[in-house]
Structure 1
Amino acid sequence: MIFVPFIGIDNHRRCVTFMAGLIANESTESYIWLLKTFLKAFGSQPSMIVTDQDAAMKNAINIVLSQSRHRLCMWYINKKLSDKVPSKVFNHPEFKKTFHKTVWDSKIHPEESEASWSSLIQNFDLQSNSWLSVMFDMRNFQLSSLMQTTSRSECDQCLLDHQSLTTNSIYKTFLPIERFTTDVYTRSNFFIVQK
């Protein structure tokens, strides 16, 4: 049995498990059944879905959740990177710096992004790397830096909320509301109010 969690971010910007399912196999049919069950329980399609690169899941999402934007999880892509590029390239500090600057900049224009990607491929002699070519071809599908992982245990937001329990806030004003929000809000909402 395969465990499939449905994880999202609530109104307090915390990761929560909305639903979980068990499927017999990772086929398109199994994912279709699971997604239809999700729709039956929640009544509407989510605005965005972040997954790994599972082809069967992608097919099922296209069929059942056609109104949702489907994004690929950057955490999974980063995890694969060390296996997909030569080690001398992966260990080169400029490669990682350039790669991350190219894929994590949400404000970069498409032309700049493509130029940066081309420069990365040329500078590190990666023209024959088929995995990077496939990733580039998927750029219209879009990668999601909004949510780095689909797993609750690695969710950055959850880590920030955990830190709010174990670290002290740094106050920028003498206003009472700033201290009040430390007790009432999650760390991420505290930063919004503080700003």
Structure 2
Amino acid sequence: MVFGPFTGKDNHGCPIAFGAGFVSSENCDAFSWLFTVFVDSLGVAPRIIITNQDWGMRLAIEKLLSGTRHRLCMWHIMSKLFEKIPKFFSDKEKFSKEFKACVWSELLDRDEFDMLWTGIIEKYVVEDHKWFKGMFAIRHLWITAYFRDVPMGSLMRTTSVLESENSFFKRYLKPLFNFADFTLQYNNAIGAQRNQTERLDYYNSTISPKYATDLAFEKQLASVYTDRKFRVVQELISEANKSCRMISMSTLENIEVFKVSDARKKTFTVTHEIEAESFDCECKLFERCGYLCSHLFFVLRNKDVNNIPEKYVGNRWLKSELLKAVHGLTSDESASDKGSNEDDKLQIGNRCHGRYFGLYQCAFKNKNHLIALDNLLAGIGPQIFTDDTTGSSSVDKNDSIKNIYGIVVPEEITAHAPDVVSTKGSASDKKSRIKSSIEKAIEKASKLHRRCGKCHKVTDHNAMNCGIK
């Protein structure tokens, strides 16, 4: 069976698994079932989904997730570029550099991209090339210029985050695992991922970053953003303070218009509606990634703004827990329940994590202290969890299974091995699959050489094509 994880990013910008499923085949019906179950378990359909160029997956998304913006993974597409470039090209590096600058640019709008793409294609005479024509026809599904107003959550450039998550799961999972082994190792992988998130949460609560400027809003953002995202924002604040310049300023009724030049000598327009106190920048960084750009930071600095308005701080990269629709909570509900038992439980849990990691860091320097901490933790369990609670765990588990599935666990379970299905891509074992030039080179390099009958050398030629007469 084919394993399909759903991967996103947490508030630290790290890959995180939302869930996973198994499908018996990679067709539209299988993916339709998978997406249906995923949306039911989440409670809401995602705003955007990034996939590879699987036709069955694309049909299932168009069929079921009509309100979801679908984007093809640029990393997968651009990794094929050198294989698709015609062989008659004399300078592939130059073409690749110009082509990637056009495709990856976040500053081009749709019309500017179309003109630049057409100019490059005509310059290198590949207008009739099948692959380039096909990619241009579906440019609305993968080109950055067509997703400038979409909240990508910093996935605009790091569309290879899925490959990072696949590499992470490969440390724990093997192709020949049965379902029981897979479940155990998958839980271990999810536990390791959550442990990493908890460590980052603890570091964010104890470590204070160094400030690059004396601006008050830098200290404000340092207190609310996670450390990894604040470093990105801090670079933009530093750029605004040192490199940005005001080109011109004009006022039209209730709107102020600023022309700002950045460190790359590019000029962008920043508009400010005075009555509504709203700001907007032409580069659209806030809409895409959830944090302000250097051009807006420059305007705010010049207007002596000490605190960034809450609507421009966002809620994507905050240190606090993200409010997700999967939990059935909205911002209004969460505000009214701040004094509830759940919040008290969360605060106590955070204190427990903080104390544990603090003790662990102190004890890690000395082996005897580490042994003493381990013995202490081992003795705490029996004191907190009595025999009554542990004895009733199996009964509680059976009751929970009955409540979820509506059936009683049978006394005897007969499990059959799942059907073996053919896969696509590099994992496929089909002989008819077209191999890339890289795979062919690897096979040729790993092939055992034989001794030539003429020159008597161990090499890749034989007596028929030996150069010695």
Could you give the per-residue CA deviations for residues 147-179 of structure 1, whole angstroms, max 9, x where no partner exists? Answer: 422515179xxxxx9xx99xxx8862479x87x
Partner Cα distance (2:160, 2:42) in 1 = 22
The 3 A distance-change label for structure 1 pair 23 and 54 is same
- Tell me the SS of whatever aligns to 1:11: coil
Which residue is 2:58 aligned to? Answer: 58
C-alpha separation in 1, matches of 2:89 and 2:47: 37
Instruction: Tell me the distance in 1 between the aligned counterparts of 2:105 and 2:226.
Output: 28
Residue aligning to 1:158: none
The aligned counterpart of 2:8 is 8
Higher relative contact order by CA 8 Å / sep ≥ 6: 1 or 2? 1
Tell me the residue number matched to 1:188.
229
- Does structure 1 residue 148 correspond to structure 2 residue 159? yes
Match of 2:116 in 1: 116
SS in 1 for 2:45: coil
Per mean C-alpha deviation after superposition, the further-off stretch among 110-119 and 135-144 is: 135-144
Q: What is the CA–CA distance in structure 2 between the aligned matches of 1:44 and 1:87, rounded to whole Å?
A: 47
Runs of 4+ in 1 over 4 A off after TM superposition: none
Letter in 2 for 1:4: G
TM-score (norm 2): 0.35
- SS at 2:34's partner residue? helix
- Tell me if the contact between 1:85 and 1:129 (Cα under 8 Å) persists in the aligned partners: no
Provide TM-score, normalisation by structure 1. Answer: 0.80
Q: 1:143 deviation in Å?
A: 3.1
- Residue in 1 aligned with 2:337? none
Aligned to 2:335: none
Distance change >3 Å, CA 126–CA 27, structure 1 → 2: same
142-151 or 19-28, which moves further after superposition? 142-151
Partner of 1:84: 84
Identity of aligned residues (%): 31
RMSD: 3.2
List per-residue Cα deviations over 1:84-132 (Å, max 9, x = no partner).
1224549522211211111111221222111111111111111221111
Once the two structures are superposed, what CA deviation does each residue of 1:37-61 show, in whole Å capped at 9, x if it has no partner? Answer: 1011101111111111111000001
Contact 2:21 2:34 in 1 (8 A): yes
1:30 equivalent in structure 2:
30
Residue 135 of structure 1: how far off its partner (Å): 0.4
How much does 1:185 deviate? 2.9
Which structure features the higher share of helix residues? 1
| One-letter amino acid of the counterpart of residue 75, structure 1 | W
In structure 1, C-alpha distance between the alignment counterparts of 2:80 and 2:93, rounded to whole Å: 17
Residue 188 of structure 2: aligned partner: none
| Separation in 1, partners of 2:90, 2:21 | 36
Q: Which has the larger radius of gyration?
A: 2
**How do residues 34-45 of structure 1 correspond to structure 2 at under 5 angstroms?**
34-45=34-45
SS in 2 for 1:151: helix
> Shift of the alpha carbon at 1:189?
3.2
The Cα of 1:14 is off from its aligned counterpart by 2.1
